[in-house]
Structure 1
Amino acid sequence: MRDFARSESPAVQAQLDRLAQLSVPDGRLGLGTIRALLSRLGNPHEQLPHVFHVAGTNGKGSTCAFLRAMLEAEGYKVHVTTSPHLVRYNERIRVAGELISDERLAELLAEILDVADGLNPSFFEVTIAAAFTEFARVPADACVVEVGLGGRFDATNVIEHPAACGIATLGMDHERFLLAPEEGTPTDPLSRIAFEKAGITKPGCSLVTLSYPEGPTLEIERAAMAAGAPLAMRGREWHSSVDVAGLHYADRHGELVLPLPAMPGAHQADNAALAVAMLRHQDFVSVSAEAIAEGIRSARWPARMQRLAPGPLTGDRIIWLDGGHNPDAGAMIARHFAGERLHLVIGMIEAKNPQALIAPLADSIGSITVVPVPGHEWHPAIAFGPDARSADDVPTALAALPDDGLPVLVSGSLYLAGEVLRLNDELPD
């Protein structure tokens, strides 16, 4: 699988074309290449403002969105790097609150790619080097960094002294990479996932997590103990719950009653609570209860249970968009639509399991239409069951649905989600 990117700016596209030519030798693991690249750039990762580093199978992007919103509500300037992008590559690099401009992005990528000559870095390694280089040059108060894949060998894991590290939901995804046989690693799959995510733990820096089954919990405890990192796990060092009054949060500093997230999905309360816990288990950046509450209300994260606005694609239909593609995401989506019928338009790349969404949504599905995933090999209709039908693209799939008033869910891939947002003129900002 290869990341893809395109731009309406000729200058940016020229650099994205260079990026698209990069490849990673099969089996290459480790941080050697990214460290070598950053060294040539003057080690910008050592010059970042206070970093909040977030890993997890699902929810890490939403947690980053809550962190950014809370910090900005306090008045701070915040750098953010997340992945993948949905429509524009610029989405991966937010500088002091603003998406990087096309002009600056073209200059920055050219600089990084020229410096990288002979190192054979990956698409993501160049992206992280570019983000960290710009973040080191532009003043800001804090930096929010989302792990790309796993944690232990992720290019973002060069950060040495974060304000806090966080781990969101754990689940099965990217098994080919994260479950590759390696001596001395856990044999239980979910424990191995936890081991990889906990690889972002740093000496003396708070590690803040949700609660997990026994095996993954033990792996996280081992990582924290080995690094000498204070561990703050939900259910022990902090607590959260939801009722009609809102989101209840408590830790050794006291209790908060906060609003429920504006982002749809019951699971977003967990992500918001994790962001709160990360802020309250570090001593570098002060954020008030009022700013935390405002951040929970204002945070947005596109293509995660997003109801599309009226636009060229939606017409009069109610259309929901979610880029979920693994079993945990399927379970979250199913909870959102419990007791409701819907039409499913799905596109999923070959490396993913078609049943990840189909099985948990079985009681809600009125029809299944399978579409291609732009730029990738995808599962055909037969993979989703005998009643699934094919369409050439999302507009064709929507046009063929009956006018029965049922909502539509478009899901299965963040790459597909990006195409849907582009078609509906909803560009993430």
Structure 2
Amino acid sequence: MMTLHPKVIDLTLGRVERLLSALGNPERAIPPVIHIAGTNGKGSTQAMIRAGLEAGGDRVHAYTSPHLARFHERIRLAGELISEPALTALLDECVAANGGEEITFFEITTCAAFLAFARTQADWTLLEVGLGGRLDATNVVDHPRLTIITPVSMDHESFLGDTVAKIAGEKAGIIKRGVPVIVGPQHPDGLAVIEAQAARLGAPVLAHGQHWQAFEDRGRLIYQDETGLLDLPLPNLPGPHQIQNAGAAIAALRALGRDEAACEAAVTRAVWPARMQRLRRGPLVDLAPQVELWLDGGHNPAGGEAVAATLARMPRRETHLICGMLNTKDVTGYMRPLAPQVARLHAVSIPGEKNTLPAEATRDAARAAGMDAVTAGSVAEALAGIAATSPEARVLICGSLYLAGTVLRENG
């Protein structure tokens, strides 16, 4: 499959449109679409919207990327993960229809998802953008029911541009004529670009801070918009950044006419692995039974800030990071906000990942960010070392969704 096209990422819609046409344009036959772009929070927001819709009995398709442990996690059909045989059959069908033409791995899997969604009955389709928005393979749906843009920050600069405004311009490419767009908290430069694009297309804007707000008050989530106020439990996904993701999800549910029960389900029933996920069982947990073990896949400076804010609000405990990162990321930018929260960072290379940053380079970046840092041969080796000297530490495995996926597979 990975030999389909020489470039792993090559943003254009031409190839995906050609293949969808050869398949009979399944993207025109899928249930109403909610399309989500943004730098951080896309997956969590999607998970909350899905929880809210499913609580009301709706059947929901969902497309996400990347996967963590197994590829079929990317495609959820009417609430259930696609089976391996069904996925294999769909991919074979797409490869045959493609007729040997160039196409990327992400493009052909997106076409397979559209095919699956068109053939399985459901009430909604939740589409998460892979990269950017304007030229992303998911951006072939002419008239979604809603679009959502979560916070935009610096990431993938070599593909999307070197300023927040340029990156926001790519994300704003999912906005469609006349279709409401829900906008999470944004840098002013990004917001200006998003609002200008929405104005050009006559798309109603529901923006954080203007049309809705969400905040914590006395251990509750308070959501407010022009139709009133909701007093809800805090999100079950940990971290203060989930307040705003929940706000965007609730704004979406309210725009779809959903009631308070759906909004409460969104914040209490969402499941999203590797986003400050507590690991409570499995071989890694058995290796260090007294350690408080967490896993997070955030990997850019905004992700580092979110994790740091989450750690700052936890009960005080000696905290160690086991960190592996890709060589395409702003490593020091990710680590700098974490430095005040951490006793030591244990750097690892990501197993089986050709773009991994070597453990020594991760260690050096951590030291440059102001952390005590050492290297380890593996996550298990680092964890055993921490447990030997600080058996009751808090340990966060972090730095990459690829590392998180490896950990979830190893930990069963």
In the TM superposition, what is the alpha-carbon distance from 1:389 to its structure 2 partner?
2.3
1:47 and 2:29 correspond = yes
Pick from 137, 151, 157: which aligns with 1:175?
157
Give, as a single letter, the amino acid of the residue that structure 1 aligns with 2:363.
Answer: F
Q: Which residue of 1 aligns with 2:380?
A: 395
Question: Which residues in structure 2 correspond to 1:59-138 (within 5 Å)?
Answer: 59-138=41-120
Q: 2:323 — aligned with what?
A: 346
Structure 2 gap segments, 5+ residues each: none
2:357 pairs with 379, 397, 416, which one? Answer: 379
Alignment of 1:83-232 (within 5 A): 83-179=65-161, 189-232=163-206
Contact 2:211 / 2:225 at 8 angstroms: preserved in 1?
Answer: yes
**1:206·1:229 contact (CA, 8 Å) conserved in 2?**
yes
Q: CA deviation at 1:117?
A: 2.2
Q: State, as a whole percentage, how many aligned pairs show the same letter.
A: 45
**Distance (Å, rounded) in 2 between the aligned partners of 1:354 and 1:76:** 41
Q: 2:277 aligns to what?
A: 306
Alignment correspondent of 1:186: none
Compared CA separation, residues 122 and 318, structure 1 to 2 (3 A)? same
**Comparing 147-156 and 308-317, the one that deviates more:** 308-317
Distance 1:86 1:336 in 2: 22
Distance apart, 1:230 and its partner CA: 0.7
Tell me the CA shift for residue 26 of structure 1: 8.7
Alignment of 1:330-369 (within 5 A): 330-338=304-312, 340-369=317-346
2:194 is paired with a residue of what secondary structure? helix
The answer to whether the 8 A contact 1:37-1:119 is kept is: no
Query: Which residue number in structure 1 is paired with residue 5 of structure 2?
Result: 23
How far off its partner does 1:360 sit?
Answer: 0.8
State the shift of 1:358 in Å.
Answer: 2.0
- Contact 2:326–2:355, Cα closer than 8 Å, also in 1: yes
**Counterpart for residue 10 of structure 1:** none
1:370 and 2:347 are equivalent in the alignment:
yes
Say if 1:220 and 1:340 are closer, same or farther in 2 by CA, change over 3 A. farther
Match of 1:300, SS state, is: coil
Return the letter of the residue paired with 1:57: T
1:321/1:410 contact within 8 Å kept: yes
Q: Alignment partner for residue 262 of structure 2, among 291, 294, 307?
A: 291
2:395 corresponds to 1:408: yes
Q: Which amino acid aligns with 2:285?
A: T
| Corresponding residue for residue 5 of structure 1 | none
Deviations along 1:291-342, one digit per CA (max 9) or x if unpaired, are 2202210101000000112211112121110011100000011111126531
Distance (Å, rounded) in 2 between the aligned partners of 1:422 and 1:383: 23
Pair 1:242 & 2:216 matched: yes
In the other structure, the counterpart of 1:269 is 243
- Give the TM-score, by structure 1 length: 0.89
Amino acid at match of 1:370: A
Letter in 2 for 1:149: L
User: Are the aligned partners of 2:249 and 2:266 in contact in 1 as well (CA < 8 Å)?
Assistant: no
Q: Does the CA-based 8 Å contact 2:129-2:138 persist in structure 1?
A: yes
Q: Aligned partners of 1:388 and 1:409: how far apart in 2? A: 14
Q: Which runs of 4+ in 1 moved over 3 A?
A: 24-29
Deviations 1:390-421 (A, max 9, x none): 22221112112244221111001101001111
**1-side partners of 2:5 and 2:346: how far apart?**
33
Partner of residue 253 from structure 1, selected from 227, 237, 243? 227
Farther off after superposition, 195-204 or 248-257: 248-257
Whole-Å Cα distance in 2 between the matches of residues 74 and 63 of structure 1?
17
Task: Please name the residue that 2:408 is paired with.
Answer: 421
Q: Given that residues 349 and 378 in structure 2 are in contact (C-alpha distance below 8 angstroms), is that contact kept between their aligned partners in structure 1?
A: yes
Match of 2:15 among 29, 33, 39: 33
- 8 Å CA contact 1:59–1:168 kept in 2: the answer is yes
Q: Confirm whether residue 233 of structure 1 aligns to residue 215 of structure 2.
A: no
**Given that residues 5 and 103 in structure 2 are in contact (C-alpha distance below 8 angstroms), is that contact kept between their aligned partners in structure 1?**
yes
* Structure 1 letter corresponding to 2:402: Y
Deviation per CA, 1:1-49: give whole Å up to 9, x if none.
Answer: xxxxxxxxxxxxxxxxxx2222245994321111111111111111111
Whole-angstrom CA distance in 1 between matches of 2:379 and 2:215? 38
Q: Which segments of 5 or more consecutive residues in structure 1 lack a partner in the other structure? A: 1-18, 181-188
Shift of 1:279: 2.2
Secondary structure in 2 matching 1:258: strand
SS of equivalent to 1:35: helix
Aligned residues: 396
Q: Which moved more, 1:300-309 or 1:113-122?
A: 113-122
Cα distance in 2, alignment partners of residues 80 and 246 from structure 1: 28
DSSP 3-state at the match of 1:329: helix
Q: Is the 8 A contact 1:371 1:391 kept in 2?
A: yes
Provide the rounded CA distance (Å) in 1 between the counterparts of 2:171 and 2:191. Answer: 12
Cα distance in structure 2, aligned partners of 1:239 and 1:318 = 33
Moved more, 241-250 or 325-334: 241-250
Alpha carbons 2:31, 2:124 under 8 Å: kept:
yes
- Counterparts of 2:160 and 2:177, CA distance in 1: 23
Distance 1:179 1:58 in 2: 16
* CA 1:220–1:388: 2 relative to 1, 3 Å: same
